Amino acid sequence: MDAHVLAAYGLEPRRFDVQPFGCGHINKTYLATDRAGDAHYILQRINTNVFKQPQVIARNHRLAGDYLARTQPDYLFPRIIPTAAGDDLHCDGTGYWRLTPYVPDTVALNEAASPKQAYEAAKQFGRLARLTANIDLSEFQPTIPNFHNLALRFEAFERAVATADEARKHKAAQLIEAMLAAASIVETYVALVRAGTLPDRLMHHDTKINNVLLHRDTFEGVCVIDLDTLMPGKILSDVGDMVRTYVCPVSEEERDVSRVVVREAYFAALMDGYLSEMRGALTALERELLFYAGEFMIYMQALRFLTDYLAGDVYYPVTYEEHNFDRARNQWALLTELRRKEHALREIIRECL
């Protein structure tokens, strides 16, 4: 990392120790520690292959931060620190950088190891949604257009099936058939969009547990981080991604699909945590769609993995030939388990509401 990046923020480079930080796969993240004091900063180089307009990310972040500073001054929202010139981002000629405060005594977990952790993380995402429920969305822009547009994801899947290498299409034949047979999930989404009755909210769009900071000792929720995809969207995105990533004891990388199960205690914890903040803010339709949110996100991720496999692995990094196929199988198994437990999970939602 070039020392001029720190200098752009008015920081003396020789005073800071800069080390890679965290395990994120999109942006390059560093912890900058002042050797002579207690100053710590998170410095990130934005991946412009994924985020084509970094200025949009910074603007959305600033709009949300300004609103929360006015309306909820005690709420911890790690805001972008401007450069010495007053800019939200620093461009060094090769890329864009941003600086945010480091939050001490916190951890970001890669997976929920207890229902309490799932509850605390979901509560933080619910709190952010509740506190921004009345924000003016007209000034926000999508940081990734059509990021969770299931109809477009399905169209891309159909194109991939039509143009796929015959060997890959044969390998994935049963999974392709299963995904096509579950297309009612897409039809429900299309109907909701056409009806226009599902409200837009300021959504995080990437509610994995490692995008929440928890207290290092108590695991109580502290704040939400990684706001690259903070933009208008539907509650399906945030609730659905928590279901997708909290309820299963193994990740989407697990090849043994017999280990892919839905843990009801974790499902109950995340619903209880989220609804402890959002219960009174949800519309009747949003309440009805809480179970569907899980179907929506898991199905979409299975589609995306399978589409990439059929297209020749052009998006997700892979380490072996069938990597994306195995990821798609994993997500299909999770969707199957979710649907198998639908009655019990809907009862959990009813109790949480």
Where exactly are the structural domains of the chain?
A: 3-102, 115-352
Per-residue pLDDT 10s for the chain (353 aa) are 567 899 999 998 888 888 888 766 678 889 998 888 777 899 999 988 778 899 999 999 999 999 999 999 999 999 999 999 999 999 988 889 999 999 999 999 999 999 999 999 999 999 999 999 999 999 999 999 999 999 999 999 999 999 999 999 999 999 999 999 999 999 999 999 999 999 999 999 999 999 999 999 999 999 999 999 999 999 999 999 999 999 999 999 999 999 999 999 999 999 999 999 999 999 999 999 999 999 999 999 999 999 999 999 998 989 999 999 999 999 999 999 999 999 999 999 999 99
**3-102 against 115-352: fold identical:** no
Instruction: For the beta carbon of residue 234, count every other beta carbon within 10 angstroms.
Output: 22
The neighbouring-strand residues paired with 43 are: 30, 99
Q: Which two tokens stand for residue 1?
A: 């990392």
Single-letter amino acid code for the residue at 190: V
Residues 6+ positions from 172 with CB-CB distance below 8 Å? 164, 306, 309, 310, 325, 328
> Nearest-CA neighbor of 45 among 68, 64, 22?
22
| Predicted pLDDT of residue 25 | 63
Q: CA 120, CA 123: separation in Å to the nearest integer? A: 5
Considering just the CA atoms, what is the radius of gyration of the chain in Å? 21
Q: Are 97 and 80 in contact (CB under 8 A)?
A: no
The CATH number of the structural domain formed by 115-352 is 3.90.1200.10
Q: CA 343, CA 7: separation in Å to the nearest integer? A: 57
Q: Are 252 and 102 in contact (CB under 8 A)?
A: no
> Nearest-CA neighbor of 175 among 335, 318, 325?
325
Q: Which CATH superfamily is domain 3-102 in?
A: Phosphorylase Kinase; domain 1 (3.30.200.20)
pTM for this model (two decimals): 0.93
| Predicted pLDDT of residue 27 | 82
| Predicted pLDDT of residue 267 | 98
Q: Which two tokens stand for residue 186?
A: 């897409």
Q: Which residue has the tokens 């109790």?
A: 351
Q: CA 43, CA 97: separation in Å to the nearest integer? A: 7
Q: CA 274, CA 265: separation in Å to the nearest integer? A: 14
Q: CA 48, CA 99: separation in Å to the nearest integer? A: 16
| Predicted pLDDT of residue 131 | 98
What distances in angstroms separate CA 188 from CA 11, 97, 162, 195, 263, one per listed residue? Answer: 52, 40, 24, 11, 26
Q: CA 54, CA 97: separation in Å to the nearest integer? A: 9
> Nearest-CA neighbor of 109 among 28, 212, 40?
212
Phi first, then psi, for residue 234 (nearest 5°) are -105, 155
Q: Which two tokens stand for residue 351?
A: 């109790």
The neighbouring-strand residues paired with 91 are: 96
